């Protein structure tokens, strides 16, 4: 098949999933065309055959109040579909990507291609349900040939918020166990923890929903009792506040803000505990990648995270904002080395058994084929 993937290039989960899906589809022999406003950050890590990238350029005109990204994405999609005769265009995120793909298809009625939309989370829980975007988000969902959500929780939220009657397929995020695995040696661990300290890790886009201050609060409670270091990967609006809090709590010298990093599997490989206290997660891809790398994940029970983490079996869950409980879970597991190692092994086994890339990507292929069969 010839497949277009319209996605965000940013550090969030939707862009990561879209990129990894496209790379996997290309490895399985499909021709994949990425359409985005910038190079998706995981796409250029290791070039692969069958992958094409088409950058979207917007028009900044003085009379208009802002750049026309939605229309620009639609226009670029039209060009790519016409030039490469795409079979499927897969939009990741309802607004603006799904509505842009719908617009592209509307202006080329004689060209038939399947439109698939994947809902990732904030396109439903934040952007989509805003009054100014609600009708167009619902329209994009209802007018896609097939719609998927990354968790059962997100599917139910979408049905509840928008009154959707269209079938929404749950296709979870996935992980590559070859990429995300614990390595026998880790130079980064020697750098951050030269004296054998435990390493806590957090990866996110530092938005308010990620509750990064809670990460610092949990770490400060643990570091007071167990020698530890905290590593932050990513960037966003709450980074400065987290840095100030770390200094105020006396752990600034043990907290490392590294910004955006491409090869995050290297950091997972040297971490012991992954802290993920989000207000909610539609799925929690970073938590899954941490589990596959045998990190002990300590997360909130918001959104779809309980679908990924089995409390007390392959990680820990606590109520949103309960930093005391999260710190206690960390102290409990770090104080029992054999149980920590065993839980890490169970976490990896469960991640692979339930969410392996080779199990999930074929589900997308089946969905694409079903869409094309209905068109015929």
Q: How far is CA 238 from CA 206, 210, 235, 244, in A?
A: 5, 9, 8, 10
Q: What is the pLDDT at residue 355? A: 97
Residues 27, 148 share a domain: yes
| pLDDT, tens digit (0-9, with 9 covering 90-100), for 307-355 | 999 999 999 999 999 999 999 999 999 999 999 999 999 999 999 999 9
Q: What is the pLDDT at residue 39? A: 85
CATH number, position 312: 3.40.50.2000
User: Which residues on neighbouring strands pair with residue 303, listed in sequence order?
Assistant: 281
Q: Is the pLDDT of residue 182 over 90?
A: yes
Q: Which two tokens stand for residue 287?
A: 């938590």
Is the residue at 311 inside a domain?
yes
Percentage of the chain modeled with pLDDT above 90: 76
Q: What is the pLDDT at residue 185? A: 80
Query: How would residue 306 be classed by pLDDT, with cut points 50, 70 and 90?
Result: very high
Is the residue at 179 inside a domain?
no
Is the residue at 324 inside a domain?
yes
Q: Is the pLDDT of residue 68 over 90?
A: no
In the predicted model, what is the mean pLDDT of residues 242-271? 94
Check: CB of residue 216 under 8 Å from CB of residue 230: yes
Residues 260, 166 share a domain: no
CB atoms within 10 A of CB 133: 18
Is the residue at 182 inside a domain?
no
Residues 51, 167 share a domain: yes
Check: CB of residue 6 under 8 Å from CB of residue 35: yes
Q: Is the pLDDT of residue 46 over 70?
A: no
Is the residue at 58 inside a domain?
yes
Residues 257, 367 share a domain: no
Q: What is the pLDDT at residue 40? A: 83
Least confident window among 11-15, 48-52, 213-217, 349-353: 11-15
Calpha distance 209→59 (Å, rounded): 32
Residues 370, 348 share a domain: no
Give me the number of domains the chain comprises: 2
Q: What is the pLDDT at residue 65? A: 66
Is the residue at 180 inside a domain?
no
Residues 317, 195 share a domain: yes
Query: How would residue 127 be classed by pLDDT, with cut points 50, 70 and 90?
Result: low
Residues 214, 126 share a domain: no
Residues 262, 202 share a domain: yes
Helices (H), 132-230: 134-142, 152-162, 187-192, 212-223
Residues 250, 157 share a domain: no
Closest among 348, 284, 285 to 313, alpha carbons compared: 348
Q: Is the pLDDT of residue 151 over 60?
A: yes
Q: Is the pLDDT of residue 133 over 90?
A: no
Percentage of the chain modeled with pLDDT above 70: 95
Full residue range of the structural domain in which residue 59 is found: 2-174+356-375
Is the residue at 181 inside a domain?
no
Residues 263, 167 share a domain: no
Residues 262, 334 share a domain: yes
Buried b or exposed e, range 295-321, using 16+ CB within 10 angstroms: bbbbbbebbbbbbbbeeeebbbbbeee
In the predicted model, what is the mean pLDDT of residues 57-77? 81
* More confident of the two residues 96 and 42: 96
In the predicted model, what is the mean pLDDT of residues 185-208? 91
Is the residue at 225 inside a domain?
yes
Check: CB of residue 8 under 8 Å from CB of residue 43: no
Residues 126, 194 share a domain: no
Contacts of 252 (CB under 8 A, 6+ apart): 243, 246
Q: What is the pLDDT at residue 129? A: 60
Mean residue pLDDT across the chain:
92
């Amino acid at each position: 098949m010839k497949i277009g993937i319209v996605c965000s290039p940013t550090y969030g989960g939707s862009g990561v999933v879209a990129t990894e899906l496209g790379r996997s589809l290309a490895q399985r022999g499909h021709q994949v065309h990425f359409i985005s406003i910038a190079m998706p950050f995981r796409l250029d890590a290791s070039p692969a055959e069958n992958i094409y990238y088409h950058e979207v350029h917007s028009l900044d005109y003085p009379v208009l109040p802002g750049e026309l990204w939605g229309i620009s994405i639609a226009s670029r999609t039209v060009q790519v579909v016409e030039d490469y005769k795409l079979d499927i265009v897969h939009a990741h995120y309802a607004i603006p990507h799904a509505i842009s793909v719908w617009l592209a298809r509307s202006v080329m009625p004689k060209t038939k291609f399947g439109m698939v939309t994947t809902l990732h989370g904030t396109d439903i829980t934040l952007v989509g349900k805003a009054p100014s975007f609600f009708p167009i988000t619902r329209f994009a969902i209802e007018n896609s040939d097939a719609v998927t959500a990354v968790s059962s929780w997100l599917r139910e939220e979408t049905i509840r918020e928008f009154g959707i009657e269209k079938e929404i397929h749950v296709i979870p995020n996935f992980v590559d166990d070859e990429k995300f695995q614990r390595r026998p040696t880790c130079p980064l661990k020697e750098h951050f923890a030269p004296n054998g300290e435990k390493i806590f890790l957090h990866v996110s886009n530092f938005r308010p929903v990620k509750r990064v201050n809670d990460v610092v609060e949990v770490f400060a409670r643990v570091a007071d009792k167990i020698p530890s270091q905290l590593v932050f990967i990513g960037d966003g609006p709450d980074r400065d506040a987290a840095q100030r809090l770390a200094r105020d709590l006396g752990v600034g010298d043990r907290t490392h803000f590294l910004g955006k990093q491409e090869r995050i599997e290297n950091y997972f490989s040297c971490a012991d505990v992954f802290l993920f206290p989000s207000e909610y997660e539609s799925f929690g891809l970073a938590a899954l990648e941490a589990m596959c790398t045998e990190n002990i994940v300590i997360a909130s029970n918001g959104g779809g995270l309980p679908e990924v983490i089995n409390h007390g079996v392959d990680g820990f869950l606590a109520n949103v904002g309960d930093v005391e409980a999260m710190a206690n879970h960390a102290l409990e597991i770090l104080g029992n080395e054999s149980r920590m190692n065993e839980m890490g092994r169970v976490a990896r086994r469960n991640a692979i058994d339930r969410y392996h890339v080779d199990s999930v990507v074929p589900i997308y292929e089946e969905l694409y084929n079903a869409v094309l069969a209905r068109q015929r």
